[in-house]
Amino acid sequence: MNQKMVHQEIYINRELSWINFNERVLAIALDKSTPLLEKLKFCSIFSNNLDEFFMVRVASLKSQVEAGMRKKSIDGKTPEEQLINIRSKLLPIIQKQQKQIASGLIKNLKKEKIHLLNYEDLNDQQKSWTENYFKTTIFPVLTPLAVDRSHPFPFVSNLSLNLAALILDPETNQQEFARIKIPQKSLPRFLSIPTDLSKKHSDVIHTAIAIEQVVAYNLQVLFPGMKIQDYSFFRVTRDADLELRDFEADDLMSAIEEGLRKRRMGGEVVRLEVSEDMPTQILELLQEGMKVKENDLYRIEGLLGLDELIELYNLDIPKLKFDLHQGITHKSLKSSQIGLLEDGSIKQEEFKSIFSIIRKKDLLVHHPYDLFSTSVEEFINQSAADPQVMGIKMTLYRISKDSPIISSLIRAAENGKQVLALVELKARFDEDNNIQWAKRLEQCGVHVVYGVVGLKTHTKIALVVRKEKDSLRTYFHIGTGNYNSKTATLYTDIGLLSAQPELGQDLIELFNYLTGFSKQQHFRKLLVAPVTLRKGLEELIYREIENAKKGNHGHIRAKMNSLVDPRIINLLYEASSVGVKVELIIRGMCCLYPGKKGISENIRVISVIGRFLEHSRIFWFLNNSKSEVYIGSADWMRRNLDRRVEAVTPIEDLDLKKQLDELLNLYLNVNYGIWEMQNNGSFIRIESAKKANSIQEQLIKI
């Protein structure tokens, strides 16, 4: 196949592929087998995903249209055509979600004695309570903004929920327009009404009402002496992508902080969501005031801002959620956990340092099935305390709010160790959190750097240098996921804990590349983007192609978040055409068509969406029955291969290779709860003839 072939019949538009992925997320909320509160969570995730999609992807396409750009996407669509297709694809999916909320979830919540009420459903006692709550708690923080000749249309901030009202002055018969921003951060979205105010309070577990309804039914308090003619709700989404040019900014942190201030205000409006029954006069005023075209208008039947349904998910009702999963300590690390006696002293006779365990044998940890806290966090924790450890170096991309790893790094610096943290300030929507951590680490004596100019550092690596006898030994972790305690319980990720000298030396040189002026172009074993990863992956695929051409079996198995890169896709098509078996496990975007006659008959694609977010990346190549397998931080996307710093490591230990081989087989042979991609780009959910465990449930039980 011609590597330069670009044709819309062999590539799927990445934006439409992403929408397909998010529709699979919504399908979990619609699934009868999903516990009720988990349905709310997946509805929330779907909506939050959609917000980010508009703030970044749709915003980018709109900017291209406004700039007059006509460059076509890989599947042959102009930016304007993509926007039209996005809207056409999204409208029925959004309607499906709203219908599920209205006709399914709210009714099923009521059956479980959880009442999400409309204001008109409240009894007299409940109305009295909400009126009092409004006057004492909501009213003081509201600021109605009038719009007239002396008051221009107010700026409406990004993702804010608002009420628009038409007010009539009885004395002058003059109609006025006002906007009220609903308080979201200072107050809960869904107000809990005391259950003893219910007529059948003994049966009620929880009663709530959306805060905007309480505001709406108390508008008269905000406008005394005026007549409320009409009102409706709306929500705005703005361009929130930070445009940063590292080489133009003398101080990257200051540049990002300034960008964050602009983001909080927001750029151009990319979506206006309004209540479906919004009066025409109010809608016209909003569209004129914010310069919103019809194509950016989304009429919503029901609640706006469904990402905030996560508040209801947090209700403590275990029977309405997935069974609690806590993970276990990796069997090889059980003796490395510091045990305490009743008097608080350490069981020293049972304790083995994590270094002595890793020194004997490489370990693979698979989160959340293997506990993050007793593996990766314990590795950094013991490194901070061990007097023989000379230095610690880590990359930090997305960090939890109360990170034990940050505490360990600070403690290590206080203990006199050389500690380096590469904090990626450009991690989208985590910039502010990372800035705060970077400042705190610097204040505590940690060396903090922000990576390579022009590149985003996405790799997940930790290096520990330890003095042993008369020499130094390196210990390290290379993973597929962030050093984030929270997401480690929610995402599936794999990490290698090892003391292999050659990989350790590669990591030393990689950190020099990240922190200094090194122009490292070669590594012993690591595949590093943007230096060697693309070339390395392409050579691995080419080798399978050549083996197949010689009459040998060719086989590629890969698990990742997204497959978008056209060069890789072309190579996989070429591999398929010569008989290489290609099996792909892709959670999100996939711009390749599988099973297409004459192009990809030998390619199969499945997607797994479940209670945990599939995040691990595994790349396996048959290599004439001498299989090679890699794990790392990179998806097969242009940004990962060309515009980010990524590290992918070979797994050479035979036992660990066998573990990954068995894991891939498990994913590819499961017959329940997976999605199979069809040759037209659509996905069909594969169900067993009888109830069976999903892949994630199987892994929990292993």
Positions annotated as catalytic residues are 458
Q: What's the DSSP call for residue 119? A: G
Dihedral over alpha carbons 131, 135, 136, 141 (to 10 degrees): 130
> CA–CA distance from 303 to each of 93, 102, 106, 187, 273 (Å)?
15, 9, 12, 17, 10
Q: Radius of gyration (Cα) for the chain, nearest Å? A: 28
Provide the residue type at 130 as one letter. T
Alpha-carbon torsion 180, 182, 186, 190, what sign? positive
Q: In the beta sheet, which residues pair with residue 419?
A: 392
Q: Distance between CA 392 and CA 382 in Å, rounded?
A: 11
Our CA angle for 221, 222, 223, nearest 5°, is: 95
Q: Which of 151, 149, 130, 148 is nearest to 139 (CA)?
A: 130
| CB distance 336 to 348 below 8 Å | no
Contacts of 68 (CB under 8 A, 6+ apart): none
Q: Distance between CA 513 and CA 505 in Å, rounded?
A: 12
Our CA angle for 527, 531, 537, nearest 5°, is: 45
| CB distance 90 to 273 below 8 Å | no
Question: For residues 277-305, b (16+ Cβ closer than 10 Å) or e, as one string?
Answer: ebeeebbebbbebbebeeebbbebeebbb
Dihedral over alpha carbons 390, 394, 399, 404 (to 10 degrees): -20
Tokens of 625: 């029955």
Q: Where are the beta strands (DSSP E) in 397-470?
A: 418-423, 447-449, 456-457, 460-468
Residue linked to tokens 């990962």: 640
Contacts of 565 (CB under 8 A, 6+ apart): 636, 637, 638, 641
Provide the residue type at 398 as one letter. R
Residue linked to tokens 């066998």: 658
Q: Which of 527, 607, 601, 526 is nearest to 560 (CA)?
A: 607
Q: Please provide the DSSP assignment of 652-674 as one string.
A: --HHHHHHHHHHHHHHHH--SSE
| CB distance 165 to 230 below 8 Å | yes
